[in-house]
Amino acid sequence: MANTPYPQSYYAASANPVPPRPALQGEVETDVCIIGAGYTGLSSALFLLENGFKVSIVEAAKVGFGASGRNGGQIVNSYSRDIDVIERTVGPKQAQLLGQMAFEGGRIIRERVAKYNIQCDLKDGGVFAAITPKQMGHLESQKRLWERFGHNQLELMDQKRIREVVACDSYIGGMLDMSGGHIHPLNLALGEAAAVESLGGIIYEQTPAIRIERGANPVVHTPQGKVRAKFIIVAGNAYLGNLVPELAAKSMPCGTQVITTEPLSDDLARTLLPQDYCVEDCNYLLDYYRLTSDKRLIFGGGVVYGARDPANIEAIIRPKMLKAFPQLQNVKIDYAWTGNFLLTLSRLPQVGRIGDNIYYSQGCSGHGVTYTHLAGKVLAEALRGQAERFDAFAGLPHYPFPGGQMLRVPFSAIGAWYYSLRDRLGF
């Protein structure tokens, strides 16, 4: 049987120790079978277990193998699309609910970390950095919008103020969200998996779901076993492949790359990011970075449409890092890796139900650390019969990609090229 290890990353190298989790052999029965042990699957499992459901998770590789164990570690609240766009799409009532929930994911993470004593280097404070006056204007209007939904913790920063928190001369201002922050993402997933098991949930690793038998009593088939369940939650996101063809048609896996420097001296680290906040810029193809607990700089950026792995990640990302921080010219890169997120045409998540008993959430299009934690709660609420918040998400439109699976990659790349050109030209 295949034994898929973690990709070589800083996170895998600094992961907390975990027990071995065997593959599923034979047949088991449960209330809810979850496909995928990333944040969506783990968060759903935790909320369900806390509410008395029996839960089994089948994971094709290892806990946090996907984006949840490889991401930039930035706790970025809200969605990958502005709430006024959402309001125009779905109307004020549904937008009100979605707007109220937009900062809940960050709170869920903090509650989980505190309740289950998860060691994942949680730090408060996230900065959105503006490079152009247009981006600064956008941040100002975003702040006003969020205040309409009761989120009053955001602070606008002028050029002088942002220079106090990040030593990058390209920024003309920004916005600080102290309810944002950062974590060691794989250790968060591993801590959540341990919490799932402490509540009686079972996680089978190296156990891909290879077929779903639909119907009143659905069954998840795996290479050496099957799980009979009352409900199934599909949480495979960009790594799901074609297991559920109707989901594959409406989304596109995309790769994004991350590098990690050698540990910096205390002085250099403090000069770059004196408050230890994480930062992302406001470009369409954005750069994002933060310090680790051992004072490395983790820097991510770039998108490969269609999720092909680039041959030389350092060659793509290091120049971006040096543009932001020329002072790192002589610093060595210790780790470089790629991971896949799932893009949707609207850049909004796709949430829904297939038949009566197969639920899914996928496609948060880049910003998913907080959303996936919220999604787990909303899915669990729906399974308990409280579907108001689930329905608010399920009502967001799911568009197929133009050009279908053949042409979605070039079409999206052209779109992204256009938007990044607009960023560079400042309009």
Ligand X SMILES: Cc1cc2nc3c(=O)[nH]c(=O)nc-3n(C[C@H](O)[C@H](O)[C@H](O)COP(=O)(O)OP(=O)(O)OC[C@H]3O[C@@H](n4cnc5c(N)ncnc54)[C@H](O)[C@@H]3O)c2cc1C
Applying CB under 6 A, the residues found at the interface with ligand X are: 35-41, 58-61, 65-68, 70-74, 76, 208-209, 235-240, 243, 256, 258, 288, 300, 339-341, 364, 366-369, 372
Cα pseudo-dihedral 112, 116, 120, 122, rounded to 10:
50
Q: Using alpha carbons, select from 280, 282, 283, 231 the residue that is nearest to residue 258.
A: 280
Measured from the CB atom, the residue of 125 and 236 that comes closer to ligand X is 236
- Reduced 3-state DSSP string for 86-129: HHHHHCHHHHHHHHHHCCHHHHHHHHHHHHCCCCCCCEEEEEEE
DSSP letters of 149-182? TT---EEEE-HHHHHHH---TT-SEEEEEEEEEE
The residue to which tokens 């490079």 are assigned: 131
- Would you say 235 and 35 are in contact if contact means Cβ atoms under 8 Å apart? yes
Question: Cβ(276)–Cβ(178) under 8 Å?
Answer: no
Q: Quote the least distance from Cβ 63 to ligand X, whole Å.
A: 7
With respect to ligand X, which residue has the nearer C-beta, 96 or 284? Answer: 284
The two three-digit tokens of residue 377, written as one number? 């709660």
Q: How far is CA 2 from CA 62, 206, 239, 241, in A?
A: 12, 7, 16, 17
Dist CA 404 CA 406 (whole Å): 5
Structure tokens at 301: 């950026």
The least CB distance from residue 119 to ligand X, in Å, is 19
Pick between residue 41 and residue 352 the one whose CB is nearest to ligand X. 41
Report the residue number, 125 or 158, with the smaller CB distance to ligand X: 125
Rounded to 5 degrees, what angle do the CA atoms 415, 77, 281 make? 50
Closer residue to ligand X, CB minimum distance, 96 or 121: 121
> How far apart are CB 393 and ligand X at their closest, in Å?
14
Burial of 323 (0-12, 13-18, 19+ CB in 10 A): exposed
Complex with ligand X: residue 134 or 302, whichever CB lies closer: 302
**Cβ 225 to ligand X shortest distance, Å:** 12
State how far the Cα of 9 lies from the Cα of 27, in Å rounded to an integer.
35
Q: State in angstroms the smallest separation of the CB of 204 from ligand X.
A: 9
Nearest CB to ligand X, comparing residues 129 and 160: 129
Taking the complex as a whole, how short is the minimal distance between the CB of residue 370 and ligand X, in angstroms? 6
Contacting residues for 114 by C-beta, under 8 A, at least 6 apart:
none
Q: Is the dihedral of CA 24, 27, 28, 29 positive or negative?
A: positive
Residue nearest to ligand X (CB): 368
Nearer to ligand X, 2 or 425 (CB): 2
Query: Measured from the CB atom, is 134 or 221 closer to ligand X?
Result: 221
The CB-of-150 to ligand X minimum distance in angstroms stands at 21
Compute CA 336 distance to the chain's CA centroid, rounded to the nearest angstrom.
Answer: 18
Closest contact distance (angstroms) between CB of 61 and ligand X is 5
Write down the least CB distance from residue 427 to ligand X, Å.
Answer: 27
Q: How far is the CB of 109 from ligand X (least distance, A)?
A: 10
Instruction: Return d(Cα 115, Cα 77) in angstroms, integer.
Output: 21
Query: Based on CB atoms, which residue is closest to ligand X, 10 or 65?
Result: 65
Q: What is the DSSP letter of 327?
A: G
